[in-house]
Each structure stands twice: as C-alpha cells, then as structure tokens.
Amino acid sequence: MSKAIIKVENLFHSYMQGTPFEKEVLHGLSFEVYHGEKLAIVGPTQSGKSTLLQYFNAIFIPKKGRVIVDEQDTKDSRLNLKELRRKVAMLFQHPDSQLFKETVADDIAFGLKNMNFPEEVIEITIKKALATVSLDSNEFFYRYIFSLSGGEKKKVAIAGILALDPEILILDDPTAGLDPKGRVDFLNSIKFLHDKLGLTTIFVSSNMNDVVELADRVMILVDGKIEMIDIPENIFIKREKLLSYGLTLPSVVELVDELIKSGINVDEKIINIDQLEESLFEIFKNKNSEKEID
C-alpha cells in the first residue's frame, strides 16, 4: 500500500454552529487517501459529500478533528494557504461557478497571474494545459467562454486548475450534465492525467458507471458517516446495503443480477462490461460450437 497523502482524523462538522438550527452533518470521520489513487465518494443527497470535499483544500478548517494534507495540518496557523490551494485543485460541479473571464486564455491566465507566474511562460503554460484536456489551442485559445458547450466549459475549468500544476484533484460530480461524448472524453482525460502526471484524485459522483470506470477505491458516505471504504468489487457485491442507502447499482451489476436470477451463472463479482463479455463468452462459446456440430 502506498503512503497516505491525506489523513482525516475524527472529523466533525456542524452547520449554523451556536444557533438553535445547529446541525451536525459529519460525525467523526477517519480515513486516509493514498498517493496516486482515485478515490470515489458516493452517497445519497445530503450525506455530507460536498461538505467533506471542502476540507481538502482548507475552505473549511476543522473545529473538531484534524485534516492533514501532504504532511501539513490545515489547522496550523503557519499553513501557506495559497500554496495548499495550488497543490489541491478543486473542480466544482458547475463550470459556470469557476469560469468568469471573457475568453478561454484569460480565464486560464487568471490563476497563473495570481500565483505570480512570470508573464513569458503564461502563454505556453495555457497551451500546454489545453493540450492535456485535448482542446486544440488554435481553436480554443481566443474562444469566448459563453460560446462553449457544457463539456468544453468543464474541460476549460480543468485546464485552468491543471495549469497550476496541482498534485491532488478534487472533483465534485464531474460528469453531471455532460452529454455521452463529453462524459467519455472527460473520463479519458482524467485517466490520462493520472497515468502521465501521477496525480491523486478524489471525486464525488452520482453516476455509478463513472465510479466503476474510474475509481480505485470507493467510500460510501451516509448521513455523515463512512459506511464502507473499499475496492469497487467489494463495494458493489453488497447490493442490498447500497440499495438501502438509496443508492443505485452500476448498469452492468443490475444486468448481472438479472442473468443470475434467470439461471445464467455469470460471476456475481463482475462490475464492468469487459468482464461481463468475457464471462458470457466463456459460458456460451461451447454451446454455440455444439450447435454447429449438430
């Protein structure tokens, strides 16, 4: 097991603290995020997912418990916030909440200027960042933000944070609202970035098919408590539990269950379509050839 880049220890969070409306939403979470992994956080609405995300780049500072990012306690008064937020980049659910300049180039340049990047490297850094999310800089450099599709906006937002050379990506439901092609492109660019740059990614997702495709480990967060944290195969085998939390199953898992119910004995641990294809092929290849012999 590789080493932890984020450690969360006994973290509590309450909204409207000190008022009659005070509500505790995170109840003592403890877990670690390993260097280089892709961790999915999954849970029904109001389970505390988005609240938790905001602790990783010190938008929230723990009042009770500790969050340690790359060996720095976010509670430490000597913490260099600017450096932490460069290191831990956050992509919000709606790209519109993070794009605000007129053109693509201006928007990406904004972060760079704030981080005091020298003027002469800004243009080349923008072009590099666009290339990493497979947007052609000739076409997109001067494009107006409002003329972009939803998927393109998401990519520009991610280019904007990649330009700052982060080590940890925090993504809040990154594929919500994307069309199928936008979704596939986006997932591929995240996988590519991982392999190439060795980033650590923590993402919240409401789409179980994304979780199957991307996650190395999955955390199930329900009512501010961690119910499970494990590799996807071990999570999705617990169908009844997941359904009882109000979660859905990946479409491949639903199909696997239907097949088993009808007496077709595919492996119940299957979670993706490649595994399903292999398993069905193994079961039916012989039947097919028997028929040919007949």
Partner 1 sequence: MIKINDLYFTYYPESENPQKALTAVSLSIKEGEFVSIIGQNGSGKTTLAKHLNAILTPTKGSVLIDGINTRNKENLWDVRKKVGMVFQNPENQIICSTVRSDISFGPENLGINRVEIENRVDKSIELMGLSKYQDYPPHMLSIGLKQKVTIAGVLAMGTKYIIFDEPTSMLDSLGKKEVFEVILNLRKKREVTIIYITHLMEEVLKSDRTIVMSEGKIVLDDSPKKIFSKLKILRSLSLDVPIIPDISSRLNKRGISIPSQIITTQEFVNCLKQL
Please tell me whether residue 118 binds partner 1 under the rule CB under 8 A: no
Please tell me whether residue 246 binds partner 1 under the rule CB under 8 A: yes
Given candidates 264, 265, 268, 269, which one binds partner 1 under the rule CB under 8 A?
264
Q: Cα 262 vs. chain centroid, distance in angstroms?
A: 35
Contact 246, 240 (CB under 8 A): no
- Which whole-number Å values give the CA distances from 82 to 48, 225, 272, in the listed order? 25, 30, 40
What is the number of other CB atoms lying within 10 angstroms of the CB of residue 130? 25
Considering only CA atoms, which of 194, 167, 232, 228 is closest in space to residue 6?
A: 167
**Closest separation in Å from C-beta 177 to partner 1:** 5
Please tell me the distance from the alpha carbon of residue 250 to that of residue 14, in angstroms, as a whole number: 32
**Site for partner 1, residues 190 to 209, rule: CB under 8 A:** 206-208
* Binding track, positions 148-187, relative to partner 1; x by CB under 8 A: -xxx------------------------xxxxxxx-----
Stretch that binds partner 1, among 58-66, 67-75, 188-196, 270-278 (CB under 8 A): 270-278
Token duo for residue 95 = 């790209």
Please tell me whether residue 51 binds partner 1 under the rule CB under 8 A: no
Please tell me whether residue 50 binds partner 1 under the rule CB under 8 A: no
Pairing of strands 23-34, 4-15: antiparallel
Please tell me the distance from the alpha carbon of residue 54 to that of residue 172, in angstroms, as a whole number: 10
Stretch that binds partner 1, among 123-131, 132-140, 192-200, 276-284 (CB under 8 A): 276-284
Given candidates 2, 19, 45, 138, which one binds partner 1 under the rule CB under 8 A?
45
Bridge partners (DSSP) of residue 226 are 221
Residue ranges binding partner 1 (CB under 8 A): 44-46, 149-151, 176-182, 206-208, 246-248, 251-252, 255, 258-259, 262-264, 273, 276-277, 280-281, 284-285, 287-288, 291
